[in-house]
């Protein structure tokens, strides 16, 4: 995976990634490309994030074992499984029912018993389970949604790829403090856009 050579040195994160077989979270015909840096199509017209993209997001989130984490954009559940090995509890939202079912099955196979998968609108978050210590957006957005920032705990952090789709975005960390929300740019990343709403058809 060469993550260390690309600046990913967090021991807990690397251990979590090593415990999750990415090929088990991809369509069978793409399993051989599980650790390649390439776009892989999944159900519902979506694409799977690469191992390096998932690692960058998780590293930026600075997850501690006691954290409650909200992930927006479950996809196949690969990053969810990584987060489940780093945090005490993970909630994840996916707009497509087909992907919810797919990810749930894969997560059960990985014994990720501390994960709750929800079919819903990720931009609205999960206010009934808030506050969250960490919120991670698995796709890009123009700016951090207010509904999600409102669900951060004190000293909580939200990590997102901020910027227009189709070009490089800024990997950005938002932190709730006594004076409101502080923002820190961490570098560039390129993710497909998150889509608001919950799909009722697929």
Instruction: Cite the active site residues.
Output: 49
- Hey, is 163 helix, strand or coil? coil
Per the DSSP assignment, residues forming a β-bridge with 170 are 162, 188
Per the DSSP assignment, residues forming a β-bridge with 193 are 140
> In sequence order, which residues have a C-beta less than 8 Å from that of residue 121 and are 6 or more positions away?
93, 95, 196, 197, 198
Structure tokens at 109: 């196979």
Strands 132-141 and 68-72: parallel
Whether residue 24 contacts residue 48, with contact meaning beta carbons closer than 8 Å, is answered with: no
């Amino acid at each position: 995976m060469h993550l260390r050579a690309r600046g990913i040195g967090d021991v807990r994160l690397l251990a979590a990634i090593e415990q999750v077989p990415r090929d088990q979270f991809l369509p069978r015909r793409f399993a051989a490309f599980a650790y390649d840096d390439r776009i892989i199509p999944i159900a519902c017209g979506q694409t799977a994030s690469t191992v390096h993209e998932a690692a960058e997001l998780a590293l930026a989130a600075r997850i501690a074992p006691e954290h409650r984490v909200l992930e927006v954009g479950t996809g196949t559940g690969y990053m969810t499984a990584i987060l489940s090995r780093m945090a005490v509890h993970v909630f994840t939202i996916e707009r497509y029912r087909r992907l919810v079912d797919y990810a749930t099955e894969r997560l059960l196979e990985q014994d990720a018993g501390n994960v709750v998968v929800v079919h819903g609108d990720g931009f609205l978050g999960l206010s009934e389970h808030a506050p969250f210590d960490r919120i991670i957006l698995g796709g890009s957005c123009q700016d951090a949604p207010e509904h999600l920032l409102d669900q951060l705990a004190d000293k909580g952090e939200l990590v997102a790829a901020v910027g227009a789709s189709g070009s490089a975005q800024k990997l950005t960390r938002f932190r709730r403090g006594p004076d409101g929300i502080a923002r820190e740019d961490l570098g560039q990343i390129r993710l497909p856009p998150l889509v608001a709403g919950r799909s009722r058809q697929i």
